[in-house]
């Protein structure tokens, strides 16, 4: 399937520019629907990761799998509003058997479609189906190049299986000339040497991008790196930056319920359900406006009553407050423009390296 990336880039840049203009005079009502809608295909997972509220048992809301009908309803409501959708949030999307059909539906509706996966179930047969469905981007959450560390943090995961699946996906991507943007990602760790090893190891393969993302403390519910929170707590609350998340992100849980914050893993801040109210109305409904109003006035007591622990959250506090949002947007535009150069061919060293490691992995299995 040939994809017109310039169409996505144009749509994205237009939307970024509108949002930037609007952010000069921000209000609790937002005239611009977010570029990207986060979709929870399922809220169950086969892993028990130590850096995930689902993995350590903090997610207590009802478990379920998104029905294809629910997904269709979301896509039909957002195809003219958003630019992309991302299968992410609180479960492993490849565990939803409709995933290839879901991908194909949103791609046909003109939405740039991304999947964030732990890779454990992305077996060659599923990879083939997902590529054929026209997926645009797949992020493999690989987290480590070291078997021991991988299996310590991604509990129940098997390093070799995930690596095998990710490399097979890369191989198919090149052989089919599918131009899926493939990323190897790692959540930041206290140990800088591990970051370097991760980047060095995965950069030898044909990933379009290898990166480490910032540790998210999930509204203070996860232990670990909290330097950002400590730094902020030295300031009076009136000087804390305003989090921009509810102005440019929205998430839909498996049952169609919408939350104004992507870190709201328990759905304490559900704003409405797309099965009962169109998402464009939820985007500026009373609950959403109250949440933004409390953020603008730094009323953390009201936010707690609304179900959000913004006072403890480290997501987007330092990098994406409104002053820095422009810089983030600028770098995203540059990334989009660079994307066209980041695909590999069968002649590349990176493609050949895939075969060497796949052969080693196969020998280990014997």
Please report, as ranges, the residues that interact with ligand SF4 according to CB under 6 A. 219, 243, 245-246, 261, 263, 308, 310, 313, 315-316
When the beta carbons of 99 and 261 are compared against ligand SF4, the nearer one is 261
CB 245 to ligand SF4: min, Å: 4
- Contact between residue 278 and residue 345 where contact means Cβ atoms under 8 Å apart: no
Q: What is the Cα–Cα distance from 309 to 292, expressed in whole angstroms? A: 14
When the beta carbons of 122 and 313 are compared against ligand SF4, the nearer one is 313
Q: What is the Cα–Cα distance from 244 to 225, expressed in whole angstroms? A: 22
When the beta carbons of 163 and 313 are compared against ligand SF4, the nearer one is 313
When the beta carbons of 67 and 298 are compared against ligand SF4, the nearer one is 298
Question: How far is CA 46 from each of CA 18, 54, 156, 328, rounded to the nearest angstrom?
Answer: 40, 10, 7, 33
Is residue 320 classed as helix, strand or coil in its secondary structure? coil
Best CA proximity match to 156, nearest among 118, 122, 124: 118
Helix and strand numbers (H, E) in the chain are 14, 9
Q: Which residues contact 13 (CB under 8 A, 6 or more apart)?
A: 333, 336
CB 309 to ligand SF4: min, Å: 6
CB 241 to ligand SF4: min, Å: 9
When the beta carbons of 129 and 298 are compared against ligand SF4, the nearer one is 298
CB 250 to ligand SF4: min, Å: 12
The strand pairing partners of 65, in sequence order, are 42
CB 57 to ligand SF4: min, Å: 20
């Amino acid at each position: 399937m040939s994809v017109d990336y310039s169409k996505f880039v144009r749509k994205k840049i237009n939307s970024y520019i509108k949002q930037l203009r609007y952010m000069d005079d921000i209000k609790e009502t937002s005239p611009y629907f977010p570029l990207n809608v986060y979709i929870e295909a399922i809220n169950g997972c086969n892993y028990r990761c130590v850096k995930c509220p689902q993995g350590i048992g903090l997610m207590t809301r009802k478990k379920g799998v998104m029905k294809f009908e629910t997904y269709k309803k979301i896509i039909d409501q957002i195809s003219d509003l958003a630019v992309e959708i991302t299968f992410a949030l609180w479960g492993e999307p490849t565990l939803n058997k409709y995933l290839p059909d879901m991908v194909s539906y949103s791609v046909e509706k003109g939405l740039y479609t991304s999947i964030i996966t732990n890779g454990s179930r992305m077996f060659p047969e599923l990879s083939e189906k997902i590529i054929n469905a026209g997926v645009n981007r797949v992020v493999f959450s690989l987290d480590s190049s070291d078997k021991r560390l991988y299996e310590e943090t991604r509990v129940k995961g098997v390093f070799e299986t995930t690596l095998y699946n990710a490399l097979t996906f890369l191989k198919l991507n090149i052989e089919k000339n599918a131009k899926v943007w493939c990323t190897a990602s790692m959540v930041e760790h206290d140990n800088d040497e591990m970051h370097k090893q991760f980047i060095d190891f995965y950069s030898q393969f044909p990933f379009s991008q290898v990166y480490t993302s910032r540790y998210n403390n999930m509204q203070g519910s996860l232990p670990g790196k909290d330097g950002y929170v400590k730094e902020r707590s030295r300031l009076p609350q009136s000087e804390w930056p305003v989090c921009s998340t509810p102005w440019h992100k929205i998430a839909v849980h498996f049952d169609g319920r919408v939350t104004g914050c992507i870190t709201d893993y328990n759905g304490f801040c559900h704003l409405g359900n797309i099965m009962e109210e169109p998402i464009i109305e939820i985007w500026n409904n009373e609950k959403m406006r109250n949440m933004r109003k409390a953020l603008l006035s730094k009323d953390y007591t009201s936010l707690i009553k609304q179900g959000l622990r913004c006072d403890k959250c480290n997501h987007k506090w330092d990098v994406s407050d409104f002053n820095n949002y422009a810089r983030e947007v600028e770098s995203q535009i540059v990334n989009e423009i660079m994307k066209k150069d980041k695909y590999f061919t069968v002649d590349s060293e990176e493609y050949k390296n895939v075969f060497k490691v796949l052969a080693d992995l196969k020998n280990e299995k014997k």
